[in-house]
Amino acid sequence: MERTPKSMRLHIGIFGRRNVGKSSLLNALTRQQVSIVSDVAGTTTDPVEKPMELLPLGPVLFIDTAGVDDVGALGAERVAKTKKILDRTDLGIIVADSGEWGGFEEGVVVELKKRKAPVLVVFNKSDLGRPTPELEARLHERGIRSVQAVVTRGEGVAVVPEALIAVAPDDFLAETPIIGDLLPEGGLAVLVVPIDKEAPKGRIILPQVQAIRDLLDHGQMSLVVREHELKAALARLGRKPDIVVTDSQAFAKVALDTPPDVKLTSFSILFARFKGDLTEMVRGATAIDRLKPSDRVLVAESCTHHPIGDDIGRVKIPNWLKQRVGGKLEFTTRQGHDFPEDLSNYKLVIHCGACMTNRRAVLNRVAKSRDAGVSITNYGLTIAYVLGIFERALEPFPAALEVYRTARSRT
Ligand SMILES: Nc1nc2c(ncn2[C@@H]2O[C@H](COP(=O)(O)OP(=O)(O)OP(=O)(O)O)[C@@H](O)[C@H]2O)c(=O)[nH]1
Ligand code: SF4
Ligand SMILES: [Mg+2]
């Protein structure tokens, strides 16, 4: 994390009048005393920077600024410093006090919009006063998202990361390649694509197409085979491939046929990283061990049509999990944009590969699950977990594997 160059981090500037709770918010988000908080207006005089990993958004740099509503020589200096921060801001948080919104806040909105930086408004101190519904509606109409908080009591802080994901610029969310970074240039990936009755006629599905394109973009080769051809294909090669990627449905057979020193994973696991948050979903998979009979599990699919057959989320995964738990589980399936607002009844969310949606949508669901204290994982990770090949399937992703091993050692 610390190796991410500063320029690659999403820069999040925190702006607002003096004493509105900017530094309190930074400390709450980072869970550290990074910036000095006091009831004296004008406490922060120089910008305070704090790099951190804000999952699932990735590496960010928070910049707490000096309140800029004051006048006089010192004030002018502060205004100048804060204006400089505006120029480095990819995303601006405007902290407002007790629902108050005026020319100052509007001015910051204008400056941020000029720089094409998205805005999130945090109405802090809502224990003392709240924004009027009209004000909230007005901001909403202009596409400005707002949340209410009482930072000193920790209230509303947990929804801030979720709101940041929702407003973050697209290019900060779509940085991970699908597969190209997992093998060297000129490397070879063998892709296992079952052609069974569930495969769509005359074509291969989107995650597979996109993986092939990503390999081409990275100057790598691919060899596409069906699962019963894998052994023969490997035997024909002069050198072992760098990685084998399989459709999750053929995981068990492919794991047997792939030499132990060749990396192996699934399309769905590649997509847990590409479209979501692999680390969080790896941690989520370990919740399978804590499932008990009659627990509720949510199966979420990003589109209403499943080209590789409906039965994976509705039949196969439920059956494997029931077997493992040794009793009945309550499964609910949701499709498309229909993701429940209230997750508190569920023990686990199992998401599809999300090939038909964008990363922001999945990261939002990851954040929602985390807020609700519910584990979230995906199809491919669940299958690898129940088949007992989880560590093998995570070998290409050392950081995620480490998270898994740490999570296991705690239980
Ligand atoms: N009642 C109430 N007080 C709060 C809340 N959040 C912060 N405060 C208090 O407000 C005061 C100012 O907080 P800071 O975090 O220092 O505010 P700031 O915006 O960084 O202030 P400057 O650096 O001076 O511009 C402190 O006494 C905080 O404890 C809140 O939600 N409710
Ligand atoms: S979005 Fe999900 S359910 Fe739809 S095809 Fe892709 S993986 Fe399957
Ligand atoms: Mg401050």
The response to whether residue 152 sits with its C-beta less than 6 Å from ligand 1 reads: yes
pLDDT at position 312 is 84
pLDDT value of position 127: 96
Q: Count of CB atoms within 10 A of residue 19's CB?
A: 20
* pLDDT at 3 (0 to 100): 47
Between 178 and 303, name the one with better pLDDT: 178
Runs of H (alpha helix) within 63-198? 72-88, 103-114, 133-141, 159-167, 170-173
Residue 267: which residues within 8 A CB-CB, separation 6 or more? Answer: 207, 208, 211, 245, 246, 247, 248, 353, 380
- 356 CA distance to ligand 2 centroid (A)? 6
Average pLDDT over residues 191-210: 89
pLDDT digits (tens, 9 = 90+) for 298-331: 999 988 865 455 578 888 999 999 999 999 999 9
Instruction: State the chain's mean pLDDT as an integer.
Output: 90
Q: Is the N-terminal amide bond of 56 cis, ω within 30° of 0?
A: yes
- Per-residue pLDDT tens over the stretch 123-160: 999 999 999 999 999 999 999 999 999 999 999 998 99
Q: In what order do the strands lie in the sheet with 375-378?
A: 330-335, 296-301, 348-351, 375-378
First to last CA, the chain: 25
Pocket around ligand 2 at a 6 A CB cut-off: 301-303, 306-307, 352-356
Look at residue 4 and tell me whether its pLDDT is greater than 60: no
Residue nearest to atom 4 of ligand 2 (CA): 303
User: Which residues, other chains included, contact 305 with Cβ-Cβ below 8 Å and sequence gap of 6+?
Assistant: none
What pLDDT sits at residue 6? 55
The crossing angle, in degrees rounded to 10, of helices 267-274 and 379-386 is 130
CB-CB contact of 72 with 96 (8 Å)? no
Confidence of residue 191 (pLDDT cuts 50, 70, 90): very high
For the stretch 35-87, pLDDT in tens is: 999 998 888 888 999 998 876 677 889 999 988 775 555 567 777 888 888 88
Pocket test for ligand 1, best of 20, 24, 43 (most atoms within 8 A of CB): 24
Q: What percent of the chain has pLDDT over 70?
A: 93
Residue 251 CA from chain centroid, whole number: 25
Side chain identity, residue 44: T
Q: How confident is the model at residue 355 (pLDDT cuts 50, 70, 90)?
A: confident
Counting ligand 2 atoms within 8 A of each CB, the residue from 352, 378, 382 with the most, and so the one to mutate, is 352
Strand order in the sheet with 10-16: 48-54, 58-64, 10-16, 91-97, 119-124, 145-148
Asked which of 51-60, 71-80, 192-201, 357-366 is least confident by mean pLDDT, the reply is 71-80
pLDDT at 111 exceeding the cut of 50: yes
